């Protein structure tokens, strides 16, 4: 029995999708980001600052999406979705897992500024502009890598794609993708994957974004 602590359209999708790629199905415990359930003592016993994902598997409870990805790929190497020590792509694999959080932390800041700090908190246009530019530079790095290959690692699809690919749900709300054609084509390849499609059906409705694009307001 596998249990995934989950919020629709959040980083727990990385794990939902990876499990589908492995042919594994978790029971979902779904939370809302706004109703206080993440702050309950019961959930903090699972994830110390009340964040998703957390995964219960093999008698363990694991939080941090990167740690979960490493655990799943190392304990289930038959799926070929990790790059184990000794693999020529090991370092690149680990770099993408870390880079996914570099990029996601910028997205979290943009989400905070544009979506969650409503009236009467004043928006901070200078911060929004800076974070959008920092997000664009991470997309540029991805675009460069993807100009040479279909997936982030030269040998093919891996869990690095589930870590980074999830970020591309949110990124187009803040940066237009027309400058990043290889990233745009990569999103199409992701969306064509059967495991991704299945995970999207299981994910649930996003309740964050109410606009197609969030412009930086004039400060
Ligand atoms: N580095 C962590 C970040 C987890 C995280 O921040 N998750 C967000 C959802 S995408 C969350 O649970 N936010 C709830 C909150 O900040 O209260 C990971 O990769 O698992």
Q: Is 53 in the pocket of ligand 1 (CB under 6 A)?
A: yes
Q: How many CB atoms lie within 10 A of CB 120?
A: 5
In CATH terms, 90-193 corresponds, of 1.20.1050.10, 1.10.240.10, 3.10.20.30, 1.20.1530.20, to: 1.20.1050.10
Going from the C-alpha of 116 to that of each of 7, 102, 111, the distances in angstroms are 16, 20, 7
* 144 C-alpha to ligand 1 centroid (Å): 27
Helices of type H across 10-124: 12-21, 41-44, 65-75, 90-111
Kindly state if the Cβ of 12 falls inside 6 Å of ligand 1.
no
Nearest CA to ligand 1 atom 14: 51
Q: What was the pLDDT predicted at 207?
A: 83
With b meaning 16 or more CB within 10 Å and e meaning fewer, what string describes 200-216? bebbbeeebbeeeebeb
CATH annotation of 3-79: 3.40.30.10
Listing DSSP states for 178-216 in one string gives GG-HHHHHHHHHHHT-HHHHHHHHHH----S--SS--PP
- Write down the pLDDT at residue 17: 98
Structure-token pair, residue 31: 């939370």
Domain regions of the chain by residue span? 3-79, 90-193
pLDDT, mean of each 10-residue run, the chain (219 residues): 97 98 98 92 97 98 98 98 98 98 97 82 85 98 98 98 97 97 98 98 91 87
């Amino acid at each position: 029995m596998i249990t995934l602590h989950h919020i629709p359209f959040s980083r727990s999708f990385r794990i939902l999708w990876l499990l589908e790629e492995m042919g594994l199905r978790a029971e979902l415990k779904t939370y809302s980001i706004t109703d206080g359930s993440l702050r309950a003592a019961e959930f903090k016993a699972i994830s110390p600052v009340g964040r998703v994902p957390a995964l219960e598997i093999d008698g363990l409870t694991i939080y941090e999406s990167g740690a979960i990805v490493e655990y799943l790929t190392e304990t289930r190497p038959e799926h070929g979705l990790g790059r184990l020590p000794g693999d020529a792509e090991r370092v690149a694999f680990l770099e993408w897992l870390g880079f996914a959080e570099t990029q996601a932390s910028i997205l979290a800041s943009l989400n905070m500024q544009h979506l969650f700090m409503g009236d009467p908190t004043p928006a901070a246009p200078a911060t929004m502009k800076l974070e959008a530019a920092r997000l664009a530079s991470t997309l540029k790095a991805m675009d460069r890598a993807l100009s040479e290959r279909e997936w982030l690692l030269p040998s093919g699809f891996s869990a690095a794609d589930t870590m980074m690919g999830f970020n591309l749900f949110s990124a187009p709300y803040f940066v237009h993708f027309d400058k990043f054609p290889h990233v745009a084509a990569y999103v199409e390849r992701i969306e064509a994957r059967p495991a991704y499609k299945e995970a999207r059906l299981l994910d649930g409705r996003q309740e964050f974004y109410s606009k197609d694009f969030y412009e930086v307001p004039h400060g």
